[in-house]
């Protein structure tokens, strides 16, 4: 599919989006939190993740180009009354699953004692890990544990709580072909270059793509964009939904934040996740908002992880 939007419409969409961001309290709030996090790292003498900032900035640029090639959702629905209470209940359930999977992330990075168990949850995860290793091989337990704990269980619980599949990122997409064309150009060039130069083999590339499909990619997109961002959007509108899900997405990576700062403490660990991961989460959230389903952000997420 080719991009058929006229240059005038394309440019107008981008200018309109930038004007909205400049006048938006939520955009300024995100910028303030992000800059404060950079300051925390700088004052504390910690390395500022320059590579992560570059990656996040490139993704934001791509999301801006996708904004130019798409149209905003026709209606911004903010629910009230009984429907609002139901969405708040959904959000509470989402928070539980984000906290539980975040706990697993902390355990994976040895931030918490591996023997610190959560009743029912920890035994379930350990059983799924063992099952995954039986099916896929040693150290590949996440191939079963992550799809079940990030997607299957939350999806079933949300559906039982009254959510509709079409509102969880599985609805009809909007200009998906255009967005994929814009977002996949850079990864395709990178993969082609690394294959031709011998830095990467086709077997390793396919293995990396498969690993990211099974362990994160779509799974994290469903958790943060499919259910968190959509619930927040119904309660607070698209702007605050974008910002809040991005910040939560960043802090959810707290385990890697501790690892990247040498376990120097909670504040620098949070700061480094916001500086790096929240930028990425913001860009992926914009892609989800503009294309209206999980395909594009999932493909971008998988490609990004496979490039690292």
pLDDT, tens digit (0-9, with 9 covering 90-100), for 137-173: 998 999 999 999 999 999 999 999 999 999 999 999 9
Between vectors from CA 230 to CA 52 and to CA 215, what angle results, nearest 5°?
A: 50
pLDDT given for residue 5 in this prediction: 64
pLDDT given for residue 2 in this prediction: 43
Assign residue 253 a region (left: φ > 0; alpha: ψ between -120 and 50; beta: otherwise).
alpha
Between vectors from CA 287 to CA 82 and to CA 188, what angle results, nearest 5°?
A: 150
Q: Is the dihedral of CA 52, 54, 58, 61 positive or negative?
A: positive
Per-residue CA distances from 208 to 55, 144, 164, 204, 253 (Å): 19, 16, 32, 6, 20
H helix or E strand, kind and range, residue 239: helix 238-252
Would you state the structure tokens that stand for residue 123, as one six-digit string?
Answer: 């035994």
Q: Is the pLDDT of residue 3 over 50?
A: no
Q: What is the mean pLDDT of residues 223-248?
A: 96
pLDDT given for residue 257 in this prediction: 94
Q: Is the pLDDT of residue 1 over 50?
A: no
């Amino acid at each position: 599919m080719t991009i058929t939007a006229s240059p005038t419409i394309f440019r107008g969409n981008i200018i309109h989006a930038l004007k909205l961001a400049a006048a938006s309290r939520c955009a300024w709030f995100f910028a303030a939190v992000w800059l404060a996090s950079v300051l925390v790292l700088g004052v504390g003498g910690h390395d500022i993740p320059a590579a992560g900032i570059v990656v996040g900035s490139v993704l934001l640029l791509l999301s801006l180009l996708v904004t130019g090639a798409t149209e905003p959702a026709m209606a911004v629905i903010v629910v009230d009354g009984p429907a609002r209470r139901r969405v708040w209940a959904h959000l509470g359930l989402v928070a539980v699953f984000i906290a539980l999977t975040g706990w697993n992330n902390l355990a994976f990075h040895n931030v918490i004692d591996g023997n610190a168990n959560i009743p029912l949850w920890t035994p379930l995860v350990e059983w799924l890990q063992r099952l995954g290793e039986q099916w896929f091989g040693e150290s590949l337990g996440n191939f079963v544990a992550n799809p079940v704990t990030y997607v299957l269980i939350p999806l079933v619980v949300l559906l039982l709580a009254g959510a509709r599949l079409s509102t969880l990122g599985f609805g009809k997409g909007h200009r998906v072909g255009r967005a994929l064309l814009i977002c996949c150009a850079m990864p395709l060039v990178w993969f082609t270059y690394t294959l031709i130069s011998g830095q990467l083999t086709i077997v390793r590339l396919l293995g990396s793509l498969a690993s990211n499909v099974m362990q994160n990619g779509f799974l994290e997109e469903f958790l943060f964009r499919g259910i968190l961002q959509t619930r927040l959007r119904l309660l607070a509108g698209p702007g605050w939904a974008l910002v809040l899900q991005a910040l939560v997405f960043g802090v959810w990576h707290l385990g890697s934040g501790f690892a990247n700062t040498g376990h120097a403490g909670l504040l620098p660990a949070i700061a480094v996740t916001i500086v790096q991961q929240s930028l990425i989460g913001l860009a992926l959230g914009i892609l989800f908002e503009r294309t209206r389903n999980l395909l594009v952000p999932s493909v971008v997420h998988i490609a990004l992880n496979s490039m690292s």
